[in-house]
Structure 1
């Protein structure tokens, strides 16, 4: 079957259509897995799974010292410059050694304390120690993904993503039947190993072409350039999981473990459809924005992205909202408290998508202060409102807080982006 001409002529639509197929398959499989988890471990077990996933998310940034977006930017710029690439990956190599050493050491030496913080019990300290052993694979997976995204190899990325997902889900199901909740947690912990092996199997020749493994040196010629991305990544990739972990613990303390699980399950649904946009940002938006310096061209590109993505996203969200009771019945039977939460989560996520597109200008142009300010501002508003509104609306208060912070954050990001181009225009006039 031929791809329609209007899709073939639009790179973003080509990525979107291919990505949509991958996401739909993932959503269908994820629905089955979530149903099994609901039956076998319940909302309290799903709350613990959410805690471990947040820890894994945190480690993806710390283990590689937040170099992911920097790799994407500089691969896109230097893909034909072997000398610069060598400098880039030597620096990344040193950063990764530091990140993995610190992460693994903290997890090993403080496994009991981390287990108590995450799960309110020391029973899972073995899981934290296992995660410590997996940390080097988490770092490698992040670095290799940065190369794939920087090259905009969206077809190979889709294949790698789908195959590694199939294998990890298969492992999760087997471990669930064999060892119940403990098995699922172990499967999640070792997923990065699977991802790295699949990446090497399908992409090793290309990786070797851009990363001269034998010539890597313990030198950091691009340390200053990458440190900006490290700081930005740490703010978003570390603070967000910590906030999510704390909010789950707060729900568990002030309401119940079930309420914490209800919110975890809702955010899991959200994360699954937000993955649809996440890979497009790194594969298309950052490389595209990196080469745009004039406001008119930027505005034209943003409008094009909005016209392509927002209607598709809106249609999908409306479908999810109308099907919310069916989704709950099929995937989370009995968790009817989730139904009123959908509208706030979906509206918030739609606004968040629009703001994330604009915010990737901060990453593309290394606007460190703007990025850090908006991330800390957004998370602070969310954290404060969640604690306040839970006392009034219970678990629904968290998703209301999510919607309000997304709305406010969009306005702040729009203002900062317009201010950036206004300053650039003034500089040109002065020169």
Structure 2
């Protein structure tokens, strides 16, 4: 599967997802407003943490292991069996804890909003969400891009219908419940599609597990856990800081600008996950790795820059279309936010190598460090520049991150040569 072919197929799924996200953003903007939008952002970050803790942290490891052992089906099955056991234990334990302490968690992290009921629904849905993530990781590792694309399209449509309808009828509480349960509903479709493939049988997932693979998945689990905790927790602290410093609407404006970046970068980020990570897992030669890096840069960066420039000149139309007149203050964030997006993707092309080559210590240390610096720069620049300071902090943080990634990967390529 080539980079261009993967991107084209993935573009179909992204086009559907972007369309659905645009409609959902409009619904949420109308029915929950800027303050409710900030609360939804907080709740989504909590769900992201829970989903990753329930087994999602191992997804990259499952994808890498499946791709790396493409011609060794027995070892692939061992990886899947070990992952199933670990995922089942994690998701069930987390679901029980969430049922017991969900209300307390809601009060602590979602000040002013009672989303305890939503967290109960999330607890019940967690095992199904974890199972769906596991199957998607296997599909990605097997390079079954067709199934992967259809699964993502189905997910986008289900999310649109579920979240849109419940938000329309029940406003903020309806959105919270829908966000909790809609990912679990995707398991039926993903399970049905993968069951039709000749390389998959249900008994391939059932087994005792293997200690050597537990260690391998644990390394990826630690990296995934770092990402699962560092980024969402940083965002939670930033929204809390913005709410206290500039008001809750300001937190909603920043959340809206971040959502715009997520929407238009979907093609790039998903292509990196679907094509780039499995490809990196196969590469053993330093020169081939250098060639792959430059190939991705030549394809990806022009696309991101073109997208950022287009978004900047269309910012008024985008705000009106995706949100409402209430959200017009985010106009001042566009320049720095979009600049940060370009720099982020440039740095991510290098940072994915740490995942592909299981550079656990480097990955964990940089994730923690740059999550902290993002929050630190945000406090620093918001005090001096107001709301636009958070976008300046975002861009500056990724400039430094890109430099550090260059030094780390340059050292890794030298090590491969030797």
Return the TM-score normalized by structure 1.
0.92
Contact 2:56 2:133 in 1 (8 A): no
Deviation at 1:301, TM superposition (A): 1.0
Contact 2:195 2:201 in 1 (8 A): no
Contact 2:243 2:249 in 1 (8 A): yes
Deviation at 1:72, TM superposition (A): 0.5
1:95–1:313 CA distance, 2 compared to 1 (3 A): same
Deviation at 1:138, TM superposition (A): 1.9
1:331–1:282 CA distance, 2 compared to 1 (3 A): closer
1:266 aligns with 2:257: yes
1:215–1:326 CA distance, 2 compared to 1 (3 A): closer
1:323 aligns with 2:314: yes
- Write the distance in 1 (CA, Å) between the matches of 2:384 and 2:96: 41
1:422 aligns with 2:418: no
Deviation at 1:182, TM superposition (A): 0.8
- Write the distance in 2 (CA, Å) between the matches of 1:50 and 1:215: 37
1:122–1:404 CA distance, 2 compared to 1 (3 A): closer
Report the counterpart of residue 374 of structure 2 in structure 1: 382
1:24 aligns with 2:20: no
Instruction: Give the 5 Å matches for 1:24-423.
Output: 24-64=15-55, 66-121=57-112, 123-206=114-197, 209=200, 212-213=203-204, 215-217=206-208, 220-334=211-325, 335-423=327-415
1:161–1:310 CA distance, 2 compared to 1 (3 A): same
SS at match of 1:193: coil
Deviation at 1:208, TM superposition (A): 6.9
- Write the distance in 2 (CA, Å) between the matches of 1:344 and 1:283: 28
Contact 2:194 2:200 in 1 (8 A): no
Cα deviation per residue 1:145-199 (whole Å; 9 max; x = unaligned)? 1011111222221111112211220111211221111111111111112221221
Deviation at 1:359, TM superposition (A): 1.0
149-158 vs 402-411, which moves further: 149-158
Deviation at 1:235, TM superposition (A): 0.8
Deviation at 1:218, TM superposition (A): 5.7
1:305–1:91 CA distance, 2 compared to 1 (3 A): same
C-alpha RMSD over aligned residues: 1.8
Contact 1:91 1:221 in 2 (8 A): no
Contact 2:67 2:142 in 1 (8 A): yes
83-92 vs 145-154, which moves further: 83-92
Cα deviation per residue 1:58-103 (whole Å; 9 max; x = unaligned)? 1222101621011011111223423212321221122112311332
27-36 vs 233-242, which moves further: 27-36
Q: Say how many residue pairs are matched.
A: 417
- Write the distance in 2 (CA, Å) between the matches of 1:113 and 1:279: 35
Q: Which residues of structure 2 form unaligned runs of 5+?
A: none
Contact 1:90 1:216 in 2 (8 A): yes
Deviation at 1:143, TM superposition (A): 0.6
